[in-house]
Chains A and B, each alone.
Chain A
Amino acid sequence: DAGVIQSPRHEVTEMGQEVTLRCKPISGHNSLFWYRQTMMRGLELLIYFNNNVPIDDSGMPEDRFSAKMPNASFSTLKIQPSEPRDSAVYFCASSLDRASTDTQYFGPGTRLTVL
């Protein structure tokens, strides 16, 4: 099993540019989660999908952030326009289902730096 796959692993961009982060969940998993990790705020849930449908996006910081899951094997998190305060590590995780008792498996993360 390849685990959760994220790309790119590192992204450096300039303020105002559009950034797209990608995630491929573990095959067969029905739930997908996007997290942001910073030193100040720790791990924050941004949004999660169940069966490709967004269930809770209350963690999305503002309208500059958007996420999609067009099919069961792919999701994107887009930031447009990006700002320096968006610099963080973004993790994607997947689980069999959205039930709390299903273990979430994390990808390696994308380290985003916005200059």
Chain B
Amino acid sequence: GESVGLHLPTLSVQEGDNSIINCAYSNSASDYFIWYKQESGKGPQFIIDIRSNMDKRQGQRVTVLLNKTVKHLSLQIAATQPGDSAVYFCAENQAGTALIFGKGTTLSVSS
């Protein structure tokens, strides 16, 4: 089965709200995690990453939180905008091999 998965397949928010997208992983040996954003008709686009020696990392309007105790990853988007509407994937690295992607969460932002 999938070692990386998402709790919710769809998230709907109002413009200006904060969004939180969650991800669970099963391999405690994973040491690198990435969030990608995929807009309709495009390839996945890198958003932010985090290594296992960190529990939080911030970017522009985005924050990734890593809880290794419960093997949980989240992406927080501040002041969500319509342009944030997309499918968001988490991905993890296992033992130095290629990334494994979760199924994705669709974020829908309404004005």
Please report A residues at the B interface, Cβ cutoff 8 Å.
4, 33, 42-43, 45, 48, 56, 91, 93, 98-101, 103-109
A100-B31, A103-B46, A106-B45 given. 12 additional CB < 8 A pairs? A42-B101, A42-B104, A45-B100, A91-B43, A91-B44, A93-B43, A98-B98, A100-B32, A100-B99, A103-B34, A104-B46, A106-B36
Q: How many A-B residue pairs have CB under 8 A?
A: 49
Given the interface contacts A48-B98, A100-B31, does A106 sit within 8 Å of B43 by beta carbon? yes
Contact, CB under 8 Å: A42 / B45 = no
Contact, CB under 8 Å: A104 / B42 = no
Q: How far is the CA of A48 from the CA of B93 in the complex (A)?
A: 14
A22 to chain B minimum Cβ distance, whole angstroms, is: 15
Q: Which residues of B contact A100 (CB under 8 A)?
A: 31-32, 93, 96-99
Please report B residues at the A interface, Cβ cutoff 8 Å.
31-32, 34, 36, 41-46, 49, 51, 89, 93, 96-104
Contact, CB under 8 Å: B102 / A42 = yes
